[in-house]
Structures are given as C-alpha cells and as structure tokens.
Structure 1
Amino acid sequence: MPHFFFIFIFTIFFPISFVLSRTTPLPSQTTVLDVSFETQKVQNVFFTDFNALNSLNQAEEVNPFEDSSSALSFQLHSRLAIEGIGSHQDYESLFMTRLDRDSARFNSILTHLNLVVQGDGLANLKPEEESELSSLEGMEMPVVSGVSQGSGEYFSRVGIGYPPSQAFMVLDTGSDVNWVQCNPCADCYQQADPIFEPGNSSTYHTMSCRARQCQSLDVLACVKDTCLYQVSYGDGSYSVGELASETITFGGEGGASAANIAIGCGHDNEGLFTGASGLLGLGGGDLSFQSQINASSFSYCLVDRDTKSTSTLEFDSITSLDAIIAPLLRNLKTSTYHYVDLTGLSVGGQPVPIPPSTLQLKDNGDGGVIVDSGTAITRFPMEVYNALREAFVKGTPDLTLTNGVAVFDTCYDLSQRKTVEIPTVSFRFSNGKEWSIPAKNYLVPIDSKGTFCFAFATTSSSMGIIGNVQQQGTRVSFDLKNSLIGFSNDKC
C-alpha cells in the first residue's frame, strides 16, 4: 500500500511540476557574448557586397510563400542590403549615421504622441477645418529636409498595381498610411526602382473624398472630389498626393494579391527612405495594411542589420508555441502604435527596483511602452533607465569601462576579450512572463576596434519604446484578435 501511494503521488504530481517548469522557465542569471564573432562581423561589413539590388529583384520574382505557415508572406531586407555602405569609410561612421536616423525617428513618434496627449495638432484636424488645403501646393507645409538622414531600417519587396510594378517598401509599425512615389513627380527623391506609373495599371482608381478611407486620414483635402493626402514625419520628410485604390501583390505577378487597398500616390515627396519606393504602414489604424486586409495577426523577424540575411513579414500567421506571450495594449488617444504591457525589468535574474506604474499606459495617452520596427534603440524614462544601467554595471565588475558614445553612456573596451559573461537582461510583463533578450542585442559593437555599448538609452519623456536592435533575430507576433504579442527568439 505505501508503494502504491508513492507511485500514485509521483505519477500525478511529477508531470504537473514538469509541465510548469517547461512553460514558465526561470531566466538564466548570466549569458555569454561572443565578442570575437561580433567584432569580426562588423569588420566584414566593408568586405561584403551589399549593393545587390539586381540579384534581389530577380530572386523575389519567385513566389516566397513556400515553407510558410502564413496565408500572406513576403521577404524582409535590412537597409544595408538595399543601400550598401554608401560613403562610409568605417563601421563607427555607419553606426553613428544610424543613431542620427534613430533620434529623428524617436523624436517623430514623441512629437506625434505629445500632440495627441495635448489634444492639439494635425492628428485632430477635421476636413472642414482644412478648406485652405485646396491643391497639392496648398497641402505642403514648412519642413526641414530629411534627405541627409533618411528613415526606415527594414524593407519588403511588393508589387504595386496590375500588372505589378516591383518596389521596395519600408516596413513601419508606427505609421498607418501606405504610399508610393508616383508619376508625374513634382518632387521625388531617388529610389532604386522606376517611379510608379499609375497610367500603366488597370486597377488604379483615385478615391473620392466621400470614401471612408479618405475620411480616416489625419490631413486631407479635396479637388474635384479627388481625395488628397499628406503625411509628414519628425525628421522633416513628407509625402503629398492623391489617395487611390490599388492592388498589392506579393511574390511577382503570379503571387498572392490584395485588391482595393487604399494607398497614397505621392507626387511630392521629400527625404524619406532613400532607395525605397514608399511605405507599408503596419500601425493599428484603419488605413494600415493589415487592417485593410482584415488580418487577425501579423508577424515579422528583423534580421541582423549587418548581414545580407533575409526573413519574412507574415499575415495571419500562427504564433510559435515557444513564444513569450504578453498583453498587447491600445492607446485610447491614438490607434497607430502597438503597446506592450511591460511592468518591469530583470538583470541577472533579479528584478530591477522600479515601480510598475512608471511604465504604465495612462488613460490620457501618456506613458506606456511601444514596440516599434523603425526605432533602433530601446529607450526608457530616466528613472527606469538609471535603475537598469546601475544593475547591469554592478553585474559587470570585471569589464573595462570606457567613454560613452552618443546616446550611450555605458560602454566597454572588450578589445582584449574573445568572450564575456554578462548578466541576462529580461523584460517582465503583467501576466508574469519574462522575455530574455539575446546578449548580442543589448551589448553591441559601435566600431570595429572592440568598443561595445549597453544598447539602451534614456528619455525625458514618460513613454518607453522597444526598438529593433533588441528585436533582431526574434519573431515578433501581433495577435490582433486576442490583443496579445509574442516574442520568439531565433525564429527568423
């Protein structure tokens, strides 16, 4: 009888504890960064042929849906794979240019959110208040050129119109309006592909001002019942043109397509996304691409920006079973941005001492933490960042500190090291789950000489943002139907 009782207890309770240990694993206290590999990788940037647009064009004429569990999927490229290294002579110069773009991007989001929270600005203009915007020229506004900075870090290849004209489009989870540069061009920046010619597409139709999509624009005007749009960005870039209905195709002429997609036909464009033809908006608003195709979910995996690797952007895809799941929140003041319910941070397996309310999204639209594909560096309010940095520095007493660089105030000289063991950094969510970030995503090289920086920054704003450096190599899944977001490491 005692033996039977022991077997019964073992059979019943052991599987339960085993399942719990698998579904709620404790983060490791430390992780290893391969310094030699990361240093060699950035050194190889200047010996790699990134200027391969022709091969990219040819490769993506085939259907990219094979081996995908998604109903709609297409390839994703880093900015470096599209533009090449340009005039940069060393990796530090390339990295600093990225930081400049990143600052412009972050300021753009911050400016828009400040206008929303204050209840002022373009986000609240009504069509009847814009009667002076009676022409394309009237829709222009004073801006500072963004040509020298550019925006956008990841690109997808899509077909516009029918027959489809292939174009590189920037992936942007922080924008809703899709648009492409169009002829005739009053002013168009340089792009890799020919400018889209709407007259060559049998499915191109300008949209009436009475259309629901037109009325969803933040800034619009009407000329002879044609809907005109304007989108502008914090780095001084903008696009102005007519809103149209068009077909979007993935994987060449024989690929899957989505009809009647509202897309801006930009005749006057300045400074945005050098090399790309326009923007694919993946924000949470009604005009975003996934909203228009009624996708219940979408996911992406952002490849390493210093390689030629590609990954996929997928719609109606299945979240990986091993994903770390967290609540996805919506700002009551604006539907554009995707917020995650982040309540805390851990370093070396120990919670960072910060009040959960510090990261909370307020009812007035203030605060919260955005997950964004276009912003590079993760930023936290000062109180949060200082506590995070202090915990990390305390956990790296054997590493040699060096001078800070740009937005980074915690940098190390690892030139004499092949590997280093560093504290694990994890994001803690309101449902108790923790996402441990790979070491290479938070201690990053900023030159080819062995200088590595803690890749977080502070902001005077109450808003936080999880950038694409921390997301690299992780499949980020947005379950729009159930308001959940998933993070799956090493799923590109």
Structure 2
Amino acid sequence: MAQKPFALYAIFSVFFTFSLFSTTSSHSPVPEASNSIATTLVLDVKASLKQAHQILSVDPHTLRPFEQEEHVQSVDPKNSSSSGSFSLLLYPTDALVNTQHKDYKSLVLSRLERDKVRVKYINAKLDLDLINNEKKSMIRQESVSTPISSGRSIGTGGYVSRIGVGNPVKEFYMIMDTGSDINWLQCKPCYDCYKQKDPVFDPILSSSYKQVTCRSQLCKMLQGPSCMVGSCPYKVLYGDGSYTKGDFVTETVSFGNSGALRNIVLGCGHTNRGLWDGAAGLVGLGGGPLSLTSQIKASSFSYCLVDLNSVQSSSLEFNSERPSDSVTTPLLKNSQDRTFYYVGITGISVGGKLLSIPQSIFQLEESGNGGVIVDSGTVITRLRTEAYESLRDEFKKQAQQLPSTSGEALFDTCYDLSEETTVEVPTVSFHFSSGKSLTLPGNNILVPLDSTGKFCFAFAPMSSSLSIIGSLQQQGMRVSFDLVNSVIGFSPNKC
C-alpha cells in the first residue's frame, strides 16, 4: 500500500520582509555590483513601530488548536526513509507566555542578551568539536534557542511547534532549532523541572514509550562505550549552564492532521534547568545523526521565519520542492562538526558598491575554523570584525541623511527616526560562491530598539573566525535546505 503523503502547514509570526536579486558572473566568484541590484530601499518606520507596540499584548489563546488524525507511519531510523512531504505547526516563542517586560525596549535588550549567550556557545561548541571530533562522551554539548538569562520570561527570537508525543497523543509546544541535534522534552517523574505551558509528559500513560538500552546502536551514537548496563542515559549541557538529563527513549511523534511517526528517538528529561519560555522541550533540525531531519531521512526541509512582533503565520516543511525562483548556493560541510549549516560567501556590497573584504575572511578552513553558518536561533547576523567594520562604515557613509544617535547594547550604529514615516536606506547584499546575490530590504537592515523611533543597524562584530547569518536577515523568505544535493535556496514571499 502506498504511504499517505503528509501535508504540513506551520504557523510563524512575521518579523520583516525580504527581497532577493540574482546576478551571475562567468569570470569571477565574486559578482561585480551592477545596475540590476537596487542601491536604496524604503524602510517603513511607522509600520515597524506599530508592530513594536503590539508585541507585548500577544494573546497565546489565538494560536491554532492542535488537531489529530489516526494515520500513523512507522519509521526505522536505521534503514527506512519517509516519503511525501510534511510540516509542523510553528509559533513564535513570545506567543507562549505573557512577557514580563515593562516596554518594548526591555524586551529587545533581553533578546540581545540571549543572543550574546547563544553566539558565545556556538563558538565554544565548535572549539570543543575541534578538540574532540568524536562527540560521544557522556556529557554532550549542544546549542540552544532559548537559554536562561534571568528569573523572568525573556524574548528568545526562536520558534516553537505544537507537536504530539505518545499514544494516546499528548500535545506540547517544543522549540525548533537548526543549531541542535538531540530532541528532548520534560518527563515525569520530574525531579527538577522548569515551568512549562502544557502538563509534563507522563511516559507511564503512553503505550508507545520504550527506553533505549545501553547495548543499542542508538545509545552508542550518543554515548560511545561509556554506557554498559540498563537504560541509556543522556545529558545535554547548554552554554549558559542550563541542561537537560534523563533517559534516551523512542516514542511516537505526531504532527496534527499530518499523521505521526513511530520510533523517533528523543530524550525524556527528568532533571531540567533553564528558562525555555514555557516550551516542553526542543526539536533538533541540525545535521547530526540524532536530529529529527536525520532520523526521518528527510531529503529536504524549509522554513519561512516571520515577524516575532506580529500575529501572521507561515510554515516549516519537510520533503517539499524548492521554489523555482530560489537563489541557490552550495551547503558546505565542516569535517569537524555535522550540526551547523555552512554557506560560501565571497563578498558583501552596500548600495551596489562591493566592499574591499578579503574572501579569506569568510572561508571555511579544512581544520574546521572559520566559515559562515545559517542559524535559526541567532537573531542578529554576526560578521568577523574586519568585515563588520567595513560594512558599517560604508553604510554610515551612504546613510548620512539619517539623523544619528548613540549606540546601545550590541549596536554601535543607531538613528533617531521618531519624526519619520518612511526613510530610504542603502541596500546590503550578500554575494554567494555560486555567483548569485541576496539583497536585504530596509526592514532587515535597520530595526527598532524601542517603540519611540530609535532604529539600529542590525549587524554586530564577531571576534572569532566564524560568521553567522541570523534569523533577522532570513525573515520574510523561504529558506530551503536540500540535504540530498547539499544546496540551500532563498526565495522571497513564499511564506
């Protein structure tokens, strides 16, 4: 019998809109700036501030309810692959809880603090992998979308999905993260658990719950030879000191109307520390063998990140076709780390002017150092200091008509647009190793720091050799990961 295809539709909130422009070059890997690329774009100041005002009043009860269907597909992570396309319902994490911030600026500053923690940890994880490429010790390192930064709820810049676990199905909000591999959720008995929106999962009530044994190949993938007898334990540490630990298990995971998958490996956490904005756990979309994408042997996945400050929606899709108008470039592999998704960047231009940045600044070295990753959990794009300063200086030069003001937090370049309705800003374009270019609109270049009109240049310097394309610069387009052909595509307005 033919397997029933999955049809998945997910919900995000819209943050900013992207536009894409493609150029080609037959003589040089770095495209020359041309008249086909716009030199300025319009930033709608009024619309951005309106969204900033409304974010603190997001009502979690407006989320689409979980729906269930009895169709179940069996998946053997060792030798079976899923067919057809499917997707997950997705929501911005801010929609889960009522924020405790007194104003929008407080929310933004909290997001930026979280962002610094994530970037610091990504660097630490990659440094660790260079030392120990095995990644099979009892204590594993992971990246996280929403690390703790205080005792109150913070904005994370991340996204969550409404996912069902067990049989009968219980639904949970779980964080979706391209920078993580291991899937996990809080489980009873809860020896030490943080507060989540949904009741904690009770494995005793699920007929499909099964512990992974120490002798299984799945446990060896996680532990190496350190686990000898009994059930397979796991422990995931995050960069801010938060963690989850418990039993490695297999369970049935459901996707609303799209059906369910059996034998998905995840961590059943009995001791969990950290503030996860009410989410029950995390789903890893990274490139490692234990991520959801690897377990279901997905040929591809794609998402469209929409505005964290709005109530609009979009989708996360698996095994669907890449839009025909996508600007594509190869996905690069880091021999020392399988989690992150790397792309080749050969240059950056501002207002159509190609910056004098050595290509080596963005190069992924054979040793595993350097390179550029595309990450859904990092909000603000980070560039190596030399590249950032060149970008910032040229932007300031071309934006001299904008009234400047003092920098703050991660941002050293800000403008007072409180008296403006719309303004023109110089474009910022990434040039890929494929010879194609991606041009960002004004809304993804300058972002509001507060709700009164202070906008800042939405990039930051990176002291390490790594660069990161953050979620803010991805928002408003469909980002497609072709895992079979190792290609990433960017397509506008496919949310």
The TM-score, its normalising length taken from structure 1, stands at 0.86
Q: Matches of 2:397 and 2:382 in 1, distance apart?
A: 20
Q: Matches of 1:405 and 1:147 in 2, distance apart?
A: 20
Q: Matches of 2:47 and 2:119 in 1, distance apart?
A: 30
The CA deviation at 1:59 is: 2.3
Alignment of 1:80-479 (within 5 A): 80-84=94-98, 86-117=99-130, 119-120=131-132, 124=134, 126=136, 148=151, 153-217=158-222, 222=227, 224-251=229-256, 255-479=258-482
- Which residue identity lines up with residue 102 of structure 2 in the other structure? Q
Q: Matches of 1:232 and 1:168 in 2, distance apart?
A: 21
Contact 1:147/1:271 (8 A) holds in 2: no
Q: Which residue is 2:53 aligned to? A: 43
SS in 1 for 2:227: strand
SS in 2 for 1:336: strand
Q: Matches of 2:389 and 2:323 in 1, distance apart?
A: 34
Contact 2:42/2:441 (8 A) holds in 1: no
Contact 2:302/2:478 (8 A) holds in 1: yes
**CA offsets, 1:312-337, max 9 Å, x none?**
11100111111111111111001010
Contact 1:219/1:230 (8 A) holds in 2: no
Q: Which residue is 1:140 aligned to? A: none
Q: Which residue is 2:90 aligned to? A: 76
Q: Which residue is 2:66 aligned to? A: 60
The CA deviation at 1:420 is: 0.8
Q: Matches of 2:42 and 2:50 in 1, distance apart?
A: 17
- Which residue identity lines up with residue 97 of structure 2 in the other structure? E
Contact 1:146/1:237 (8 A) holds in 2: no
Q: Identify if the C-alpha distance between structure 1 residues 378 and 214 changes in structure 2 by more than 3 Å, giving closer, same or farther.
A: same
Q: Identify if the C-alpha distance between structure 1 residues 444 and 219 changes in structure 2 by more than 3 Å, giving closer, same or farther.
A: farther
Q: Identify if the C-alpha distance between structure 1 residues 147 and 239 changes in structure 2 by more than 3 Å, giving closer, same or farther.
A: farther
Q: Identify if the C-alpha distance between structure 1 residues 248 and 457 changes in structure 2 by more than 3 Å, giving closer, same or farther.
A: same
Contact 2:157/2:308 (8 A) holds in 1: no
Q: Matches of 1:381 and 1:234 in 2, distance apart?
A: 21
Q: Identify if the C-alpha distance between structure 1 residues 389 and 70 changes in structure 2 by more than 3 Å, giving closer, same or farther.
A: farther
Contact 2:55/2:310 (8 A) holds in 1: yes
SS in 2 for 1:299: strand
Structure 2 unaligned blocks of 5 or more: 1-20, 25-33, 72-82, 140-146
**CA offsets, 1:93-145, max 9 Å, x none?**
0100111111111111111111122x14xx64655xx5xx9xxxxxxxxxx96
Q: Matches of 2:361 and 2:400 in 1, distance apart?
A: 28
**CA offsets, 1:136-162, max 9 Å, x none?**
xxxxxxxx9655476561101110111
SS in 1 for 2:388: helix
- Which residue identity lines up with residue 192 of structure 1 in the other structure? K
Q: Identify if the C-alpha distance between structure 1 residues 23 and 356 changes in structure 2 by more than 3 Å, giving closer, same or farther.
A: closer
Q: Matches of 1:204 and 1:449 in 2, distance apart?
A: 51
SS in 1 for 2:222: coil
Count of aligned residue pairs for this structure pair: 444
Q: Matches of 2:339 and 2:311 in 1, distance apart?
A: 30
- What is the identity percentage for the equivalent residue pairs of Structure 1 and Structure 2? 48
Larger radius of gyration: 1
Q: Matches of 1:211 and 1:89 in 2, distance apart?
A: 50
The CA deviation at 1:80 is: 1.4
SS in 2 for 1:338: strand
- 2:39 aligned to which of 29, 33, 46: 29
Which 10-residue stretch deviates more, 397-406 or 218-227?
218-227
Structure 1 unaligned blocks of 5 or more: 1-20, 134-143
The CA deviation at 1:22 is: 8.1
Q: Which residue is 1:10 aligned to? A: none
Contact 2:347/2:430 (8 A) holds in 1: yes
Q: Matches of 1:377 and 1:145 in 2, distance apart?
A: 18
Q: Which has the higher helix share?
A: 1
The CA deviation at 1:438 is: 2.2
Q: Which residue is 1:17 aligned to? A: none
SS in 1 for 2:340: coil
Q: Matches of 2:174 and 2:157 in 1, distance apart?
A: 9
The CA deviation at 1:382 is: 0.5
Q: Matches of 1:27 and 1:62 in 2, distance apart?
A: 46
Contact 1:220/1:230 (8 A) holds in 2: no
SS in 1 for 2:289: coil
Q: Matches of 1:403 and 1:340 in 2, distance apart?
A: 33
Q: Matches of 2:175 and 2:59 in 1, distance apart?
A: 17
Q: Identify if the C-alpha distance between structure 1 residues 22 and 359 changes in structure 2 by more than 3 Å, giving closer, same or farther.
A: closer
Q: Matches of 1:445 and 1:152 in 2, distance apart?
A: 14
Contact 2:194/2:272 (8 A) holds in 1: yes
Contact 1:400/1:412 (8 A) holds in 2: yes
Q: Matches of 1:482 and 1:125 in 2, distance apart?
A: 25
Q: Identify if the C-alpha distance between structure 1 residues 218 and 484 changes in structure 2 by more than 3 Å, giving closer, same or farther.
A: farther
The CA deviation at 1:387 is: 0.6
Q: Identify if the C-alpha distance between structure 1 residues 452 and 22 changes in structure 2 by more than 3 Å, giving closer, same or farther.
A: closer
**CA offsets, 1:3-44, max 9 Å, x none?**
xxxxxxxxxxxxxxxxxx987593211111111111122122
Q: Matches of 1:262 and 1:111 in 2, distance apart?
A: 26
The TM-score, its normalising length taken from structure 2, stands at 0.85
